[in-house]
Amino acid sequence: MSTSLFSLKGKNALITGSTHGLGMSMAKGLGKAGAKVIVNGNSSQEKIDKAIIEYKNESIDAVGYRFNVTDETEVMAAISKIEEEVGPIDILVNNAGIIKRTPLVEMAVSDFKEVIDVDLVSPFIVSKEVVKGMIARGGGKIINICSMMSELGRNSVGAYAAAKGGLKMLTRNMATEWAKYNIQTNGIGPGYFATSQTAPIRVDGHPFNEFIVSRTPAGRWGDPDDLRGAVIFLSSQASDFVNGQIVYVDGGILATIGKPSNES
């Protein structure tokens, strides 16, 4: 099988929330597979500029655009500008997201709505605008970053789980409506990954660290680079007949009920 099936040479890929973390790791994977990376963030232009330097230090062709993915007017203007200045968007990765760890009974309605807005509504807003060009050109790839919480609940992440569960079904409905235009819409559900955000709970002896390592059949936290293969596959010609699927990159957590504490 030719590796050209996975080549993204000549493709433009927009990855929302790609100035750091898992978004940046996936974007680097796309860049190393040949795509031009379109970086998005909303915190500051300085952060975007710093991210662009990091991409270019790894010989990745990257440009940056600051816009709020929850603001339809900003999204419309940004997509129009990107298509004018960079070219058609061939690949869209809806990665931007937030989480608020608050028990539901204590959670303010405004906080619940904010999580839904960023994690569920924004993929709809951005995809709705980007897909117009994909339909006109007769093809494209959309990847929504879901979660294990698209399938499971957990204490204090009710809003996040509701949004990610909704995103799973939005992904399937996008596939249902847009497959006839040769557009493949799929999702990636990351498990527990070693990032700067999880560093404080990944130390030896921490109860949550012990829980995740013992609960994961692979016996470890995910490395952000572990996501690159899935995002390249779903962005490439290799996945042209894959549609409406959620690929869980979780070391096997969702495949098992777990093991008793006394089992080696």
Give catalytic residues, as residue numbers: 160
Give the number of other Cβ atoms within 10 Å of residue 38's Cβ: 27
Nearest-10 Cα torsion for 198, 204, 210, 216: 70
3-state secondary structure 63-103: EEEECCCCCHHHHHHHHHHHHHHCCCCCEEEECCCCCCCCC
Nearest-CA neighbor of 97 among 199, 198, 21, 192?
21
Q: Are strands 91-94 and 12-15 parallel, antiparallel or unpaired?
A: parallel
What residues are paired with 140 via a beta bridge?
183
